[in-house]
Structure 1
Amino acid sequence: MTAPKVWVTGASGFVGEALVLRLLLGRKYAPVAAVRGASRLLGLCPVARFEMGASSAGQLAGVQIVVHAAARVHVMRETADDALAEFRRVNVDGTLQLARSAAQVGVKRFVFISSIKVNGESTPVGHPFTAHDVPAPQDPYGISKHEAEQALHLLGSETGMEIVIIRPPLVYGPGVKANFLSLLKWLDKGLVLPLGAIGNQRSMVAIGNLVDFIETCLEHPAAAGQTFLVSDGDDLSTPRLLRRLASALGKKARLLPVPSKLLLICAAAAGKRAVAQRVCESLQVDISKNREMLGWVPPIDVDTAMRRTAGHFLDTQKS
């Protein structure tokens, strides 16, 4: 029996590359890495040139499933004059162009990697986002992802192509970059961090758990037409996150108990209010739908995921 061909966009990125490697190891699927430029996957699996907004119908012949992980991602220092228009050009128009090409050649299922930002930016402690909540995106990135979801569902209803939406929160794991990498560097250096008094709760998802969930959604009959939130199922306060991550590094977190309100005031004065909000506020997601509908539970616990992340970081620092 021929393995179903899975076309993965953004396969040179953090999530896309991890998914392709996962599918290669499992040997149940035949992944094709769709990338804009060079890829470390060359020689491991077929690699296709992919440009958002261009027709891909000719490349998708024989593909049963598309996983669309490529996107214009949330940026801290926006340079575009019209950020929303630029996000829409890539994340809405580009996504819809790809989905139309997929439907045209008979792709059965289109899995869209969206973002928890479609739900909103924060939650009260103990009141997590659910997949059934009314979307409330607040920034151009979240708005563009929501509009792409809506366009995909409409296309699916018109063509019969099955649409699956996955909204992850912060994704971490070996090779993580951005703010999570900064935390690793600060903890490894033993810096004193003024984050010991934050009483929030944050949901995150280890890259291993995310790609396991994506694989579950590739063909599960109950996933068709659904939207899912995904996490490790173990929410952490910022101080608890830092202590567990420091332990994985073989260090001790040095935390000062500075009140959150004072942190936000100081961050606002320094032009870093958005960063401070992510550190101080809560953002929890409810993954009970995943268990009930798909029988999925996160296979990797948080401490194991942190050890893998820290181990890769330390190995990279040494090399």
Structure 2
Amino acid sequence: MESLNKNILLTGATGFVGGAILRHLCDRPEYSIRVVTRNPAVFPGVVENSVLLGDLNSTQSWGHALKGIDVVVHSAARVHVMKEHAVDPLSEFRKVNVDGTLNLANQAAASGVKRFIFISSVKVNGEETTAGNKYTADGVVHPVDDYGISKSEAEKGLLKISAETGMQVVIVRPVLVYGPGVKANFLNMMKLVGKGFPLPLLSIENKRSFVALDNLVDFVALCIKHPRAANQVFLVSDGDDLSTPELLRKMARALGKKVILLPFPVQLLRAAARLMGKENITDRLCGSLEVDISKNQELLGWTPPMSVDNALLKTAKHYLGNRNS
């Protein structure tokens, strides 16, 4: 495995995943980290080597940011917009996630960057799996929503650039990421469990893959240096798939609470959600989405270092300490 010092350019360092990658890499003396940001003051005392840049798009010049860089870790993206106002959302996703990414990758290759790590999404594979059929890293992809489509198109473009230039590309597709500071549906679920509300979710029999932030960051760090990661696609999870009731019970234990789960027909639950316009949330609560991460062990020797229980304890501790802030 490579052990030479590396100069790393990190995008998206103010985000949930990018910020965790930044903190992890800053603790490694073998790496020199450069971040791109609209506001360098965001990183006082953390990264002095920051570069001021504007939006991620097809025309941005990356020359100064890429000078002397060995590895790019690209986690910046246009992610899900809760209240979408764009007339053509797919076009807006493409501007950032496809055009912006490929513009950066082309300039990186021209600048002599050796490896480009792209934080993609399991949504490239699809939205739901059936019993006994897990998504695999090298299986057929079937993105459904605009975000997943844009990530899939970016992946294809990156592999084309790699083939044409020789720059190594590593594509990392996480499942739902949780950890200290998690937002959106996972946080809402934690709030409900923390308040002790009875939840009509006992009858759900599904399986979903999740990935702790620490496990994802550990895997990305491995992909920076492992020679066999070059030009590969990986799915990342905790390797411990859970049903919704199992997740809620583990979450309750982490919060020091008791969760009350009530039986309720799943079809009625889905029907009620449709009437309230909450079908997407119910799909995630009731549906399955499992991934096979055996490739990670077989090719890179990687297994998730943090258990689900410990990751949930860490997440719950942060939530309890910050819920009033």
2:52 matched residue in structure 1: 49
Which of 29, 32, 35 is 2:31 aligned to?
29
Greater Cα offset, 61-70 or 36-45: 36-45
1:197, 1:260 within 8 Å by CA — same for their partners in 2?
A: yes
Structure 1 residue identity aligned to 2:107: S
Check if 1:144 corresponds to 2:150: yes
Greater Cα offset, 54-63 or 242-251: 54-63
Question: Partner of 1:97: helix, strand, or coil?
Answer: helix
Structure 2 residue identity aligned to 1:22: H
Which of 288, 308, 311 is 2:317 aligned to?
311
Structure 1 residue identity aligned to 2:200: P
1:157 matched residue in structure 2: 163
Q: CA deviation at 1:117?
A: 0.3
In 1, the alpha carbon distance for the partners of 2:232 and 2:141 equals 14
Structure 2 residue identity aligned to 1:298: P
Deviation per residue, 1:163-194 (Å, 9 max, x gap): 00000010000010111111111111111111
Greater Cα offset, 258-267 or 304-313: 258-267
In 2, the alpha carbon distance for the partners of 1:81 and 1:318 equals 36
Q: CA deviation at 1:39?
A: 5.9
Structure 2 residue identity aligned to 1:203: S
In 2, the alpha carbon distance for the partners of 1:159 and 1:40 equals 34
The 5 A counterparts of 1:39-118 are 40-45=42-47, 46-50=49-53, 51-53=55-57, 54-118=60-124
1:7 matched residue in structure 2: 9
1:7, 1:67 within 8 Å by CA — same for their partners in 2?
A: yes
Deviation per residue, 1:38-86 (Å, 9 max, x gap): 6643321122223302121221101100010000012333221101111
Structure 2 residue identity aligned to 1:174: P
In 2, the alpha carbon distance for the partners of 1:132 and 1:26 equals 31
The 5 A counterparts of 1:224-263 are 224-263=230-269
Q: CA deviation at 1:318?
A: 5.2
Question: Partner of 1:167: helix, strand, or coil?
Answer: strand
In 2, the alpha carbon distance for the partners of 1:233 and 1:166 equals 15
Which of 262, 286, 293 is 2:292 aligned to?
286
Q: Which runs of 4+ in 1 moved over 6 A?
A: none
Distance 1:267 1:38, change over 3 A: farther
1:12, 1:39 within 8 Å by CA — same for their partners in 2?
A: no
In 2, the alpha carbon distance for the partners of 1:263 and 1:49 equals 48
Deviation per residue, 1:233-275 (Å, 9 max, x gap): 0000001000100110000111111122111111011111111
Question: Partner of 1:205: helix, strand, or coil?
Answer: strand
TM-score for the superposition, normalised by structure 2: 0.95
Check if 1:126 corresponds to 2:132: yes
Question: Partner of 2:22: helix, strand, or coil?
Answer: helix
The alignment of Structure 1 onto Structure 2 pairs a total of residues equal to 319
2:9, 2:65 within 8 Å by CA — same for their partners in 1?
A: no
Deviation per residue, 1:77-135 (Å, 9 max, x gap): 32211011111111000000111111111110000000000000000123110011111
Q: What percentage of residue pairs aligned between the two structures are identical? A: 53
Question: Partner of 2:295: helix, strand, or coil?
Answer: helix
Question: Partner of 2:27: helix, strand, or coil?
Answer: helix
Q: CA deviation at 1:3?
A: 2.8
Structure 2 residue identity aligned to 1:113: I
1:274 matched residue in structure 2: 280
Distance 1:39 1:215, change over 3 A: farther
2:209, 2:290 within 8 Å by CA — same for their partners in 1?
A: yes
1:239, 1:255 within 8 Å by CA — same for their partners in 2?
A: yes
Check if 1:199 corresponds to 2:205: yes
In 2, the alpha carbon distance for the partners of 1:130 and 1:49 equals 38
TM-score for the superposition, normalised by structure 1: 0.97
In 1, the alpha carbon distance for the partners of 2:96 and 2:254 equals 37
